[in-house]
Every structure is written in C-alpha cells, then in structure tokens.
Amino acid sequence: MISIQNVTKKYKGTPRPALDQVSLEIEKGDFVFLVGASGSGKSSLMRLMLREDVPNSGSVHVLGENLVGLPARKVPFFRRRLGVVFQDFRLLPNKTVSQNVAFSLQVIGKSEGFIQEAVPDVLRMVGLGEKADRFPNELSGGEQQRVALARAIVNKPAILLADEPTGNLDPNTSEGIMSLLNSINLSGTTVVMATHERGIVDQMKKRVVELSHGQIVRDQVAGGYGVRD
C-alpha cells in the first residue's frame, strides 16, 4: 500500500537531512502513528506520501504508483485516491459545511447526482447531519475537523493521511475525532496519522513509528508513545 525505501530528503540551506535513509512499509488496513519531536521528519514523510515533494534519493510507492517518477500532470489523479486532513482544517469560510464537502467533489468533476447523495451520507457518518447548512465559523474546532474528515473520505480513498489532526483540539474533542478515525480505519481505509500527543497514542494501542533526527528509531506493533521525546 505504502512502500518507502532508503529515502533521503535534504532541504536547501540545511546541513542535516530531514529524512536520512528511511524505509517503511505500511499494509492495507493498517493504522499507523508517526510520532517524534518537531523537526524529526514526520511532516517531510507525509509530504512525500502525498507527492507534495520528491526525495533526493530512494523510492516512494503509494497505491501502486512510483511517486518519484510520477509526471506532474498525473499527480492530481493520484491525489484523488488519497484523503488528507490537517491541524488547521483548511475549510472555505464562505461555503457551508455541505458546500465545503461538495466543493472537493465538484472540482474533480463528479456528477451533481453523486454529490447530492454522497455529501449527506458522509456528513451523517461524521455526526454533522444536522449542521450541513452551517458555516465553518459557526462550528466548534472539533466539528470543523469533522467537516475536514468528511471532505477527506467522501471520495472513498484507500489511504487517509492525517497531519496532527487533533493538534488544535482539547482532549475530549480529540477523543471523538480519534474514534471517528478508528471507525474509518475499521471500514478498510489505511490511516497514517502524525502526532505528538502522548495520551492519544497510548490509548489507541496501534502501530507506532517513531522518528528522531530524520531516522526511524522505533517501529512497534500496538505500542505506546514511548519514553523518548
């Protein structure tokens, strides 16, 4: 599903590579936490999986595509098979909840009929069926992240990438988001989540990949956040 081999990524102007000879395999249906301090390389790794960047050396295969050799014009079509959420939700403030979700389907050319069926479905699934016509600024942070999640999964992606999805939320709200991610995972979607929230990782008992200074220092099934930080 995701296969990363000997990847090194250097950014201009920094002597130390952000990722140093990283190899990682993620199977279909996995739920993987990427943990580590700020600057450990979590975000760089996520960017490579999303093909926002390409490594200086090594190979990245996601969903059967070789992302290093993927021509730019094919990248949009690759991204349609992924879902992504971020810490800052990235919703459009001038569109309602359902318009936000519908927008992501409209821009990839889905039919109105499909959109009218899929959007209410996915909003019910994330628990926002009643708030479809609200604007993002009328929602709590947790609800906004649910909208973002709904947008990410409405197209039924095989992989969901979540970059610090609970970073802006209080612990109670985070719990709701995590159970939502868990049920998304149980329905067959592979979930990769970068976080540095100890409580969440310890509670979920999922696979944990820890990065430090651009290297994988731990890859543990059903692990906790660990002692190192």
Partner 1 sequence: MKLGFMLSEVAEGLRRNLAMVVSIILVTFISLTFVGTASLLQLQIGQMKNYWYDRAQVAIYLCTDISPEATCPRGQAADDVKLQVQERLDSPTLSPFIEKYYFEDKEQAFANFQEQFAGNAVAQYVKPEQLNETFWVNLYDPNQSPILTESFAGLAGVEEVRDQRSYLDQIFLILNIASLAAVSIAALMLISSALLISTTIRLSAFSRRRELGIMRLVGASNFSIQLPFILEGVVAALIGSVLAGITVLVLIQFFVQGFLAQSLPFTSFVGLSDGMLVVPLLIAVGVVLAAAASGLAIRRYLKI
Binding site for partner 1 (CB under 8 A): 51-52, 72-73, 75-82, 84, 90, 92, 103-104, 106-109, 111-112, 151, 155
Nearer to partner 1 (CB atom), residue 108 or residue 217:
108
At its nearest, how many Å lie between partner 1 and the CB of residue 54? Answer: 10
* Smallest distance, partner 1 to C-beta of residue 37, A: 26
Residue 110 or 213 having the CB closest to partner 1: 110
Q: State the Cα–Cα distance between residues 222 and 120, nearest whole angstrom.
A: 34
**Nearest residue (CB) to partner 1, 48 versus 209:** 48
Give 15 or 113: the residue with its C-beta nearer to partner 1: 113
- Residue 224 φ/ψ region, left for φ over 0, alpha for ψ in the -120 to 50 degree band, beta for the rest: beta
Report the candidate in 6, 81, 48 with the shortest Cα–Cα distance to residue 163. Answer: 48
Residues in the chain, how many?
229
Structure tokens at 15: 């002597």
How distant, in Å, are the alpha carbons of 115, 149, 186, 188 from that of 126?
Answer: 16, 8, 14, 16
Min dist CB 77 to partner 1, Å, is 6
The CA distance from 135 to 97, in Å, is: 6
Q: Give min distance, CB of 79 to partner 1, in A.
A: 4
Q: Closest approach of Cβ 2 to partner 1, in Å?
A: 17
Q: Which is nearer to partner 1, 13 or 73 (CB)?
A: 73
For residues 101 and 97, what is the distance between their CA atoms, to the nearest angstrom? 7
Report yes or no: 141 and 161 within 8 Å, Cβ to Cβ.
Answer: no
Looking at beta carbons only, is 151 or 196 nearer to partner 1? 151
CB of 121 to partner 1, least distance (A): 17
Q: Are 144 and 134 in contact (CB under 8 A)?
A: no
Tell me whether residue 15 or residue 93 sits nearer to partner 1 (CB atom): 93
Is 204:178 a contact under the CB 8 Å cutoff? Answer: yes
In terms of C-beta density within 10 A (0-12 exposed, 13-18 middle, 19 or more buried), how is residue 227 classed?
exposed
